A and B are shown apart, each in its own frame.
Chain A
């Protein structure tokens, strides 16, 4: 009953102090919300287990992808009951986009192409019907079967069980739906829910491949592998076994990886995790500092509030309240504030997460993370709330409870020159230090982003429209593709407003692509089988370099006359030319891949080098092949169109009409290349923007906190200041002494902050580009900003002194 009464009084008291309550709730809400959002992202990306049987027993082979023969070898040598087996079983899976047609209605879906034992290894049962099984893979059985996700079943089939047994066309290949996956299972790919599951053995049919390289070639690496540890086998033991066995797994020696490691697979497969786990941890540290700042402000505000209620505390004590009872009452107020702040924080975290996932997503690549309240995230928020209340609300409440009731009977004749207590000063000093640290970190990260995206790139993304097509989904043959690309490029290139157009397999910074192992070139040594050279290969069409603004340094671009009936030609980039023909003209030299056919390729052009995989790595040597001349084994790649125009957004409708005229059923996604490239710096953008926002928040909290402390001090000293003016002090003198008093906070806080930043920025080194972690200019700039802010925060509340009436000040109570 007493606690309820305390809470009721706390509500009333806080609602009467609207300014204090509003400032505190906003501050706590933002701080707790930011922390909760980042923690929820970390939880979804790093901590959550897949909803499968015994997820802790799952391990992942820690490389981007593996060949199908490698998977089969691993199965035969390390799984099951053979001697030395460390796994009970292993599955292989990849994901790809497919065009699905049901009842003449088509949409793009994400399919997991998996081994027959996929569901068995994971221990995920069917919701209805059945799941994929190894028997579906046996020769002679109908392997064109699909398991749909529970979400797809609800969304597309209206939760109707008649979906089982129905036909679904995937990339124009008919499949039969055999079952619905469990409701809480969204696939093994974190952030990328799977819509349906098909057998890996259907990969060739789905992608309209005429060859069997995807099944037989060790160089065709397209699968992720997850394995389940055998009973009693630890991760370390399994790692040791894989390390020993791996060289035997690849019998033809073409796989250059000699060591493969196992890592924890309980959380599934995620490129997001690889890309964002470190930045998120850095951001969690930053948001933790923000919470600390907000708590310090809260403590100062509470101290001020409790001080203003000294007489109330003394009165309650004089009326018989025990100190414990007084403490309870004030602490109830603090707890109410913190709980309300945490509740606001939940809303803030919801919006923040929406913004973050939108930030991480891109068109056609929506990211959906399982971010919902669970025991971990709720415990995190509750802990943030409680720790805030305990650490920063208890001290002011304790101080208030130590009032002397006898003070009620004292006159107010004494004037006090009492300044803020040491704790308040210490808190502001710490706030300045933390702000300095966050501002410097943010400044370094923002500069990194700027330098990354503004370095000479070897191409010009501005003015380029990227048109994404998927002729494989549309079941085009290789010949039909070549014809389509040529007609598309010529027609789009002739549109008004179009300066250049060309197709490509991989645009700059896209990464991925193909690295050929083993090639020869004129003047070069014979290929050593144990150490074959490798180089990047891209497949393009005529007009591509003009479209992306990459200069031809010598020779020519491809032309439409470069067909299979003419001698095969290639273009190389400057890095390739310099590496292989440093002292001679590359034009006229020859290049040959081992499996590229009888004739070597003649080098007809040298282009500017541009970054291939990301902004960090210098441009690698790259060979460009004309898609019209692609050998059969590597033809039929999905190419995209790059179109240069003065106003790319305006020409998009015209391009869409051209595509519709060529194939009315072919979907096309369009996006400015600049927007697409922003995702290549997704990690850096996330760090830069979020750290900048957090640093600004820290700056504002600190400035408000300092302003509040100075204003409170001055208010308490009103009568003293009135007396000083009555005794002859000028207002300007008093303002100067106030500002000087405030600068004392800076005198300790700034050096502390700079030292802290010096230490912490060392850990940022791996995230920086083009700037050192201890960049003196950055440190100096932040110091100057904080000095200016401190001066302003001290001067602004002191301005009233200039206009004050000493007599009125002396009467102030």
Chain B
């Protein structure tokens, strides 16, 4: 699904170059649940940005579902992002001015969908995540766990094949965190490729594989659970 070859990201500091990522080469298969771990400043979030095509300032080769991302223009990458990627953020990043319903609808509104198709999809997601009763509420009216649930719902609303999650349980207590991780596990069982960044060993245990990054390079790539290709793979 995803192939990275010699991905490099650096910033200039005077006459020197400081590498945030260097020589990142890895493959992720469809339906894999991959955890990226490492100390702060290792480059985890930068790698996730590149994978999600939120960051265009990098070098190397990146192929996503057969598309050579490194050869695409930024507009084409945005289009690819829309087709394949869903994002879950540590701070939920829900829009306080929009209701739960509208937050879930937001990514759909940026795709070419009719309003009836959108409302059908949102209804389906609300039902699936059992948050129908909360569809008219605003984010400040929800608990942290509920907000992250809505964040995950928003991420899957457009049927992405890949979910990128940045510390998805970082702001939650253990009970809420468990709920979210089990949700991810369920999505993965249904075929969604999940790539999460986390500091939590507990969260990492839900995945198939742990990639440890240190000082911008991959230190370890460890399989922790057997990967069984799904129907999507």
Residues of A within 8 A of B (CB): 1-2, 5, 9, 12-13, 16, 311-312, 315-322, 325, 404-406, 408-411
Q: Closest CB-CB distance, A774 to chain B, in whole Å? A: 52
Q: Is the CB of A408 within 8 A of B54?
A: yes
CA distance A10 to B231 in the complex (A): 43
Contacts of B109 in A (CB 8 A): 2, 5
Contact present for A409 and B45 (CB under 8 Å): yes
Cβ of B107 within 8 Å of any chain A Cβ, yes or no, is yes
Distance between B161 CB and nearest chain A CB, rounded to angstroms:
14
Nearest to B89 among chain A residues (CB) is: A408
Q: How far is the CA of A322 from the CA of B98 in the complex (A)?
A: 19
Interface residue from A5, A9, A318 paired with B54 (Cβ < 8 Å): A318
The distance in angstroms between the C-alpha atoms of A16 and B140, with both chains bound, is 13
Provide the residues of chain A in CB contact with B48, threshold 8 Å.
409
A contact patch SS: helix
In this assembly, does B100 line the interface, its C-beta being within 8 Å of a C-beta of chain A? no
Q: Does B33 contact A (CB under 8 A)?
A: no
* Chain B residues with CB under 8 A of A16: 97
Q: Complex formed: what's the CA distance from A604 to B54 in Å?
A: 100
Cβ-defined contact, B110 with A322, below 8 A: yes
Q: How many residues of B contact A (CB 8 A)?
A: 27
> Which of A1, A315, A321, A410 is B93 in contact with, Cβ under 8 Å?
A315
CB–CB A316/B52 < 8 A: no
Determine which residue in A9, A16, A325, A406 has the highest number of CB atoms from chain B within 10 A of its CB, and name it.
A406
B110 touches A319 (CB 8 A): yes
CA distance A409 to B87 in the complex (A): 11
* A1, A318, A404: the one within 8 Å of B115 (CB): A1
Contacts A315-B95, A320-B81 known; list 11 others, CB within 8 Å. A5-B109, A312-B95, A315-B89, A315-B93, A317-B54, A319-B107, A322-B78, A404-B55, A405-B55, A409-B45, A409-B49
Q: Which of B137-155 contact A (CB under 8 A)?
A: 154
Contact status A406-B54, CB under 8 Å:
yes
Residues of A within 8 A of B45 (CB): 409-411
Measured CB to CB, the nearest residue on chain B to A10 is B97
Known contacts A406-B49, A409-B45, A409-B49; A318 and B97 CB within 8 A of each other: no
Q: How far is the CA of A325 from the CA of B107 in the complex (A)?
A: 12
Residues of chain B from 42 to 99 with CB closer than 8 A to chain A in the complex:
45-46, 48-49, 52, 54-55, 75, 78, 81-82, 87, 89, 93, 95, 97-98
B99, closest chain A residue (CB): A12
B93 touches A311 (CB 8 A): yes
Q: List the 8 closest A-B pairs by CB distance, nearest first.
A: A320-B110, A405-B54, A406-B49, A320-B82, A406-B55, A409-B45, A319-B107, A406-B54
Max count, chain A CB within 10 A of own CB: residue among B75, B97, B107: B97
Known A1-B115, A322-B78: A409·B93 in contact at CB below 8 Å: no
CA distance A404 to B46 in the complex (A): 13
| Cβ contacts under 8 Å, A1 to chain B | 115
Q: Which of A9, A312, A408, A410 has the most CB of B within 10 A?
A: A408
What are 24 A-B residue pairs whose CB atoms fall within 8 Å in the complex?
A: A5-B109, A9-B98, A316-B106, A316-B110, A317-B78, A319-B106, A319-B107, A320-B81, A320-B82, A320-B107, A320-B110, A320-B111, A322-B110, A405-B49, A406-B49, A406-B54, A406-B55, A408-B54, A409-B45, A409-B46, A409-B49, A409-B166, A410-B45, A411-B40
User: A348 vs B171: C-alpha distance in the bound complex, in angstroms?
Assistant: 50
CA distance A405 to B49 in the complex (A): 8
- Chain B, Cβ-Cβ closest to A8: B102
Residues of B within 8 Å of A13, CB to CB, are 97
Contacts of B54 in A (CB 8 A): 317-318, 404-406, 408-409
B110 surroundings in chain A (CB, below 8 A): 316, 319-322, 325
For the complex formed, measure the closest distance between the CB of A645 and the CB atoms of chain B, giving whole angstroms.
68
Of A321, A405, A409, A411, the most chain B CB neighbours within 10 A belong to A409
Output the nearest chain A residue to B154 by Cβ-Cβ distance: A319
Query: In the complex, which residue of chain B has the Cβ closest to the Cβ of A412?
Result: B91
B contact residues around A322 at 8 Å (CB): 75, 78, 110
**B78 x A408 contact (CB < 8 A):** no
CA distance A535 to B115 in the complex (A): 86
**A contact residues around B106 at 8 Å (CB):** 316, 319
Residues of B contacting A405 in the complex (Cβ-Cβ under 8 angstroms): 49, 52, 54-55
Contacts of A318 in B (CB 8 A): 52, 54, 81, 87
Known contacts A322-B78, A322-B110: A9-B49 contact under CB 8 Å:
no
Contacts of A406 in B (CB 8 A): 46, 49, 54-55
Instruction: Give Cα distance in the complex from A321 to B87, angstroms.
Output: 13
- Please determine whether B78 and A12 come into contact, CB atoms closer than 8 angstroms: no
A319 to B110, CA, bound (A): 8
Does B158 count as interface, using CB distance less than 8 angstroms? yes
Known: A12-B97, A320-B81. A409 touches B89 (CB 8 A): yes
Distance, CA A318 to CA B91, complexed state (A)? 14
Nearest opposing residue in chain A for B106, CB measure: A319
A13 to B97, CA, bound (A): 6
Interface string of B8-31 (1 = CB under 8 A from A): 000000000000000000000000
Which residues of B sit under 8 angstroms from A325, Cβ to Cβ?
Answer: 110
Specify which of A311, A319, A404, A406 lies most central, judged by the most chain B CB atoms within 10 Å of its CB. Answer: A319
Chain B residues near A321 (CB, 8 Å)? 110
Cα(A321)–Cα(B111), bound, Å: 8
A481–B52 Cα distance when bound, in Å, is 100
Closest chain B residue to A14, Cβ basis: B97
Per the bound structure, the CA–CA distance linking A322 and B110 in Å amounts to 8
Question: Which residue of chain B has the shortest Cβ distance to A312 in the bound complex?
Answer: B95
Q: How far is the CB of B20 from chain A (nearest CB, A)?
A: 11
Q: Which residue of the partner chain B has the closest CB to A17?
A: B97
The smallest C-beta distance from B163 to any residue of chain A, in angstroms, reads: 13
A1 to B48, CA, bound (A): 34
Q: Bound complex: CA of A9 vs CA of B46, how far in Å?
A: 32
> Which B residues touch A320, using CB under 8 A?
78, 81-82, 107, 110-111, 158
Nearest CB in chain A to that of B102: its residue: A9
* Cα(A9)–Cα(B96), bound, Å: 11
Give every chain B residue within 8 A of A12 (Cβ-Cβ): 97
A317 to B215, CA, bound (A): 29
Q: How long is the Cα–Cα vector from A405 to B93 in the complex, in angstroms?
A: 12
Bound CA–CA A312/B82 (angstroms): 18
Q: How far is the CB of B125 from chain A (nearest CB, A)?
A: 14
Interface centre among A318, A321, A325, A405 (most CB of B within 10 A): A318
Which B residue's beta carbon lies closest to that of A15? Answer: B97
Q: How far is the CA of A311 from the CA of B55 in the complex (A)?
A: 15
CB distance from A766 to the nearest CB of B (A): 54
Considering the complex, give the chain A residue whose CB is closest to the CB of B157.
A319
Point out the residues of chain B lying under 8 angstroms from A409, CB to CB. 45-46, 48-49, 54, 89, 166
User: Shortest distance in angstroms between A26's beta carbon and chain B's nearest beta carbon?
Assistant: 23
Q: How far is the CA of A9 from the CA of B48 in the complex (A)?
A: 30
Q: How far, in whole Å, are A636 and B111 apart by their CA atoms in the complex?
A: 89
Chain B positions within 8 Å of A319 at CB level: 87, 106-107, 110, 154
